Amino acid sequence: MSNAIDTRELRNALSTFATGVTIVTCLDAKGLPNGATASSFNSVSMDPPLILWSITKTAYSADAFINAKEFVVNVLTTDQVDLSNKFSRSGEDKFNGVQTELGIGDVPMLAGAATRFQCKTWATYDGGDHEIIVGQIVAMDSSDKQGLVFYRGGYAKAEQL
């Protein structure tokens, strides 16, 4: 079937939906840390506590996440724009100079994040050019730091109305 939806129009339309920004981390098969900036994070279920996010299949870290038994979703704060940009560049060695603590399965958790959700991989699903990864939250820690927002293609701050 041909795609009747123009990709740029679709990106613009989707960008009207404000999201938070996360960096999802895991270990690959060799035990090396992987991480990717992701705004596709969302809540799924309260009981059991499930969340999801999706990773583009062409990402450097796609295989690592698809095969990982555990991962951590680090919800970024307004102070972590540089970190968000760093982890949105493809490749290895993103953890150089980044302060981390060990979480579930020795997966690195980012210091200073607003919230860290430590997850066991619950299921992965084919989602077109992305893989949908569902995780069960097994531990979390949260703070009152201000969460970073992504809106219309740029970073923003949330303001209470």
Ligand X SMILES: Cc1cc2nc3c(=O)[nH]c(=O)nc-3n(C[C@H](O)[C@H](O)[C@H](O)COP(=O)(O)O)c2cc1C
- Using CB under 6 A as the binding rule, the residues of this chain from 2 to 21 that contact ligand X are 21
Residue 114's nearest CA partner among 46, 52, 54, 41 is 41
Alpha-carbon distances of 23 from 1, 41, 85, 110, rounded to whole Å:
34, 10, 10, 8
Which of residues 15, 28, 40, 140 is near ligand X by CB under 6 A? 40
CB of 50 vs ligand X, minimal distance in Å? 17
72 touching ligand X, by CB under 6 A = no
76 touching ligand X, by CB under 6 A = no
Indicate the helix (H) or strand (E) that contains 156: strand 154-157
Q: Tell me whether residue 54 or residue 118 sits nearer to ligand X (CB atom).
A: 54
Q: Is the dihedral of CA 77, 80, 83, 85 positive or negative?
A: positive
Beta strands in the chain (DSSP E): 19-20, 22-27, 33-38, 42-45, 50-56, 70-75, 100-102, 108-110, 115-127, 130-142, 148-151, 154-157
Q: Tell me whether residue 38 or residue 75 sits nearer to ligand X (CB atom).
A: 38
- Using CB under 6 A as the binding rule, the residues of this chain from 83 to 122 that contact ligand X are 84, 88-91
DSSP secondary structure letter of residue 144: S
CB of 39 within 8 A of CB of 19?
yes
Q: Tell me whether residue 4 or residue 150 sits nearer to ligand X (CB atom).
A: 150
Q: Which stretch binds ligand X (CB under 6 A): 58-66, 67-75, 104-112, 136-144?
A: 58-66
80 touching ligand X, by CB under 6 A = no
78 touching ligand X, by CB under 6 A = no
Q: Tell me whether residue 90 or residue 99 sits nearer to ligand X (CB atom).
A: 90
Residues forming the site for ligand X (CB under 6 A)? 21, 36-40, 53-56, 59-61, 84, 88-91, 150
